[in-house]
């Protein structure tokens, strides 16, 4: 996968994964791999800064909870109402973008 493609769509990917039950970083990364048959392998260096940025934007809320297997608490993220709106907007933008790319490349 071209890392530049990931950069342009990381917010959409993360918001879509966190939609539903709260998830912590490693769980988010594993979910991305699972849902895409390994295509998205989110690295710590891009995952956590992006989660922090989305939290600062008010699209995610984070809360420290006990780790699932003991140890230090981990931060669980969930969508806020603003995050749900951002997810819908980003899904629509991506849909339009994908259609237009399809139009450009059709029959070529």
- Give the integer Cα–Cα distance in Å for 25 and 42: 10
Instruction: Identify the residue whose tokens are 């709260």.
Output: 22
Across residues 22-42, what is the average pLDDT? Answer: 93
> What pLDDT shows up at residue 44?
86
Number of domains in the chain: 1
Residues facing 22 on adjacent strands:
none
CATH code at position 57: 1.10.10.10
What is the reported pLDDT for 102? Answer: 92
Domain extent, residue 71, equals 3-105
CA gap 2, 39 in Å, rounded: 10
**DSSP state letter for 41:** -
- For the chain, the average pLDDT equals 92
pTM: 0.89
The H or E element that residue 78 is part of is: strand 74-79
């Amino acid at each position: 996968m071209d890392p530049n493609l990931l950069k342009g769509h990381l917010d959409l990917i993360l918001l879509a994964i966190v939609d539903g039950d709260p998830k912590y970083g490693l769980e988010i990364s594993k979910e991305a791999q699972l849902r895409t048959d390994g295509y998205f392998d989110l690295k710590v260096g891009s995952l956590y800064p992006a989660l922090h940025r989305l939290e600062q934007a008010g699209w995610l809320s984070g809360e420290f909870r006990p780790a699932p297997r003991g140890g230090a608490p981990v931060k669980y993220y969930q969508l806020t109402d603003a995050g749900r709106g951002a997810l819908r907007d980003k899904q629509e933008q991506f849909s339009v973008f994908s259609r237009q790319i399809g139009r450009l490349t059709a029959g070529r």
